[in-house]
């Protein structure tokens, strides 16, 4: 099993390929060029340029990759969710090359990605991944001369991560592919990256298990010692830090809050005591960075506080698999793209997180 931690290259899902597979000039990689050079006889893979070289190198470096479609590096991937046609402005016409300025293209409004930047660890894996942890600590004992040291067995446990598929689809018109270049490329890149990042952040926060990972709020062994029982107070806020301290969680550099926008609004308006400041000021609460996101929408207003360095995100394979279906809707000159990535998320030591029992926005 090959395991490589690559937090730096995984930043925002837009770093270079973690295994450094393929040509060095990945800055020349173009999703649009890949789509235009597909060879149906080879399983709809690109046949020229850095796009073909990366796919070939990826298949040589990673055994057992699916034959269908092609692989693109993390640095080149973004996802779409609707049909885009060149003829109508809102269905693709806005992407024609005469678009005035790519920098002014408005991206889809979605929660900002934060988990990687908050300190989540990212790992490139090949096969099932087991992250070891101590489930009980060694204990040292003072002894008298000639007295035997008591035998105390520390126990090990493991966080098990295995590939889960996260993906998205988009349907493009053949006319849009032939008439656009830079605008469509930028759109594909930004939207695919943002969609996958949003899915990962949501799973980190409120994943419920099943097809998706179990997130912080729903993790069975996180600490749940704080109950607001009404409007949040400064004592409630301090209790999060106190409870982690009692569990010997001292990783102050990676401690972060996660809360809903409603909670942030209430905490910014709630005084600690008359004339003594507010529960949350700026982007900080009790000296720790607070992340607010709609990815917490499924948390019922609960507040989480803990160490992001204990959250692990594993990826498998050289990047994202792109499957192109240009047959199903061929009479309408429509091409469907489906992007898949293999990802899993888990918390190495759940006790390093404190999740409230009720809403912080009461």
| Within-domain flag for 44 | yes
- Domain holding 275, by residue range, is 234-308
266 band by pLDDT with thresholds 50, 70 and 90: very high
| Judgement on whether residues 178 and 317 belong to the same structural domain of the protein | yes
Judged against a pLDDT cut of 80, whether residue 99 lies above it is answered with no
For the ranges 138-152, 174-188, 303-317, the maximum mean pLDDT occurs at 303-317
| Judgement on whether residues 68 and 190 belong to the same structural domain of the protein | yes
| Judgement on whether residues 90 and 16 belong to the same structural domain of the protein | yes
| Within-domain flag for 324 | yes
| Judgement on whether residues 78 and 183 belong to the same structural domain of the protein | yes
188 band by pLDDT with thresholds 50, 70 and 90: confident
| Within-domain flag for 136 | no
211 band by pLDDT with thresholds 50, 70 and 90: very high
pLDDT given for residue 7 in this prediction:
33
Report the number of distinct structural domains present in the chain: 2
| Judgement on whether residues 16 and 60 belong to the same structural domain of the protein | yes
| Within-domain flag for 218 | no
| Judgement on whether residues 282 and 316 belong to the same structural domain of the protein | no
| Within-domain flag for 198 | yes
Phi then psi for residue 266, to 5 deg, are: -70, -40
| Within-domain flag for 142 | no
- Residue 321 half-sphere exposure toward CB, CA atoms < 13 A: 19
| Judgement on whether residues 251 and 317 belong to the same structural domain of the protein | no
| Judgement on whether residues 303 and 317 belong to the same structural domain of the protein | no
Tens of pLDDT, residues 239-254:
999 999 999 998 888 8
Residues 81 and 272 sit within 8 Å (Cβ to Cβ): no
| Judgement on whether residues 302 and 169 belong to the same structural domain of the protein | no
| Judgement on whether residues 274 and 165 belong to the same structural domain of the protein | no
| Judgement on whether residues 190 and 239 belong to the same structural domain of the protein | no
Q: Is the pTM of this model over 0.85?
A: no
| Within-domain flag for 319 | yes
Task: Give the mean pLDDT of the chain.
Answer: 80
27 band by pLDDT with thresholds 50, 70 and 90: low
| Judgement on whether residues 206 and 316 belong to the same structural domain of the protein | yes
Q: Which two tokens stand for residue 158?
A: 């493991």
| Within-domain flag for 126 | no
Tens of pLDDT, residues 76-94:
754 333 344 444 433 333 3
């Amino acid at each position: 099993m090959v395991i490589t931690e690559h937090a730096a290259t995984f930043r925002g899902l837009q770093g270079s390929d973690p295994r450094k597979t393929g040509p060095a000039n990945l800055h020349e990689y173009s999703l649009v060029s890949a789509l235009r050079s597909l060879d149906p006889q080879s399983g709809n893979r690109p046949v020229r340029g850095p796009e073909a070289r990366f796919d070939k190198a990826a298949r040589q470096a990673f055994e057992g990759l699916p034959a269908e479609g092609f692989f693109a590096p993390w640095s080149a991937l973004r996802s779409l969710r609707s049909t885009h046609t060149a003829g109508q402005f809102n269905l693709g016409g806005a992407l024609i090359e005469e678009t005035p300025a790519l920098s002014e293209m408005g991206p889809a409004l979605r929660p900002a990605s934060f988990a990687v930047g908050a300190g989540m660890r990212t790992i490139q894996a090949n096969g099932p991944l087991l992250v070891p942890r101590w489930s009980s600590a060694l204990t040292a004992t003072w002894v008298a001369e000639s007295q035997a040291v008591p035998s105390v067995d520390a126990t090990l446990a493991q966080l098990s991560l295995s590939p889960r598929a996260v993906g998205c689809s988009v349907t493009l018109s053949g006319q849009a592919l032939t008439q656009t270049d830079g605008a469509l490329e930028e759109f594909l890149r930004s939207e695919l990256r943002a969609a996958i990042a949003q899915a990962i952040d949501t799973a980190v926060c409120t994943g419920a298990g099943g097809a998706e990972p179990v997130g912080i709020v729903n993790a069975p062994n996180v600490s749940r010692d704080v109950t607001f029982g009404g409007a949040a107070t400064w004592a409630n806020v301090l209790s999060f830090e106190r409870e982690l301290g009692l569990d010997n969680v001292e990783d102050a550099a990676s401690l972060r809050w996660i809360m809903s926008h409603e909670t942030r609004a209430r905490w910014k308006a709630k005084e600690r005591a008359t004339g003594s400041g507010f529960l949350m000021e700026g982007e900080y609460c009790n000296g720790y960075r607070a992340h607010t996101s709609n990815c917490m929408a499924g948390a019922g207003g609960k507040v989480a506080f803990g160490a992001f360095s204990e959250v692990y995100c594993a990826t498998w394979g050289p990047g994202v698999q792109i499957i192109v279906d240009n047959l199903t809707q061929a009479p309408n000159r429509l091409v469907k793209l489906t992007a898949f990535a293999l990802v899993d998320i888990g918390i190495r030591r759940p006790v390093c997180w404190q999740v409230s029992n009720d809403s912080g926005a009461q």
